[in-house]
C-alpha cells in the first residue's frame, strides 16, 4: 500500500481492466471529463482572448519570466511545434515577446509584456473559480489523490513530475 492507501495491482486484479461496456474504458470518462473542463475553461477565458494552453504558458512565465521555449516545453510537457504555435499566438496578441538570450545568441528567451503581466490577477482568479467549481464536491484528500493519479497518467506512469508543496500528501 502506498501513501495514498492504494494497493498495487496483481494478477488477481486483472478483472478491473476487463471492458464489458464503453464506461469500463478509462478513455471514456477521462475524455468526457476533459471535454467538460475544456468547455468551461474556453467559455471563461474567451473574454480575455486567451486559450487554456496560452494560460498555461503565461502561468509558468508569471512564476519565472525570461525562460526559453525549450524550458517552457519541458515544464508543460509539450512538444516544440506545439510550444512554437502557442508562443506565436501569444506574441501576436502582444502578451509576450521573444528576446535574444544575454549570453547565448542561439537562444531566445520569452518575456512577458506589460499586457501579459496585467492579465495575471484576472486569469488566475478565473482559473481558481473553475478549479473550485469542479473540485468542490471532493474532500481535500480526494483532490490530492485525483491530482496524483492524473499526474501519474500524464507522465506515462513516471512519478517524476513534482507536485507543489500544497499538493503533497
pLDDT tens readout for residues 85-110: 999 999 999 999 999 988 988 889 99
Please, which pLDDT band fits residue 7 given cuts at 50, 70 and 90?
Answer: low
**Tell me, what's the pLDDT at 33?**
94
Q: Domains along the chain?
A: 47-161 (1.10.10.10)
The overall pTM is greater than 0.75: yes
Residue 113 has pLDDT above 50, yes or no: yes
The owner of cell 494478477 is: 11
The continuous run of DSSP H or E covering 108 comes out as strand 108-112
Question: Which three-class secondary structure state does DSSP give residue 67?
Answer: strand
DSSP SS3 for 100: strand
Q: Which three three-digit cell numbers place residue 23?
A: 464506461
Report the DSSP beta bridge partners of residue 165. Answer: none
Q: How far apart are CA 42 and CA 50, in angstroms?
A: 8
Give the containing element (helix H, strand E) for 98: strand 96-100
Per DSSP, the three-state class of 103 is coil
**Rg (the chain; Cα; Å):** 19
Separation CA 59–CA 50 (nearest Å): 12
pLDDT digits (tens, 9 = 90+) for 37-76: 999 999 999 999 999 999 999 999 999 999 999 999 999 9
Amino acid at each position: 500500500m502506498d501513501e495514498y492507501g492504494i494497493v498495487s495491482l496483481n494478477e488477481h486484479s486483472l478483472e478491473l481492466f476487463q471492458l464489458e461496456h464503453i464506461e469500463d474504458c478509462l478513455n471514456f470518462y477521462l475524455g468526457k471529463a476533459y471535454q467538460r473542463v475544456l468547455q468551461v475553461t474556453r467559455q471563461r477565458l474567451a473574454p480575455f482572448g486567451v486559450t487554456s494552453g496560452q494560460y498555461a504558458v503565461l502561468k509558468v512565465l508569471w512564476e519565472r519570466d525570461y525562460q526559453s521555449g525549450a524550458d517552457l516545453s519541458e515544464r508543460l510537457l509539450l512538444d516544440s511545434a506545439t510550444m512554437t504555435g502557442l508562443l506565436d499566438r501569444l506574441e501576436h496578441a502582444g502578451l509576450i515577446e521573444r528576446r535574444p538570450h544575454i549570453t547565448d545568441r542561439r537562444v531566445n528567451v520569452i518575456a512577458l509584456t506589460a499586457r501579459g503581466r496585467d492579465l495575471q490577477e484576472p486569469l488566475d482568479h478565473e482559473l481558481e473559480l473553475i478549479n473550485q467549481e469542479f473540485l468542490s464536491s471532493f474532500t481535500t484528500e480526494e483532490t490530492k489523490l485525483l491530482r496524483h493519479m492524473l499526474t501519474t497518467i500524464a507522465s506515462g506512469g513516471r512519478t517524476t513530475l513534482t507536485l507543489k508543496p500544497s499538493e503533497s500528501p
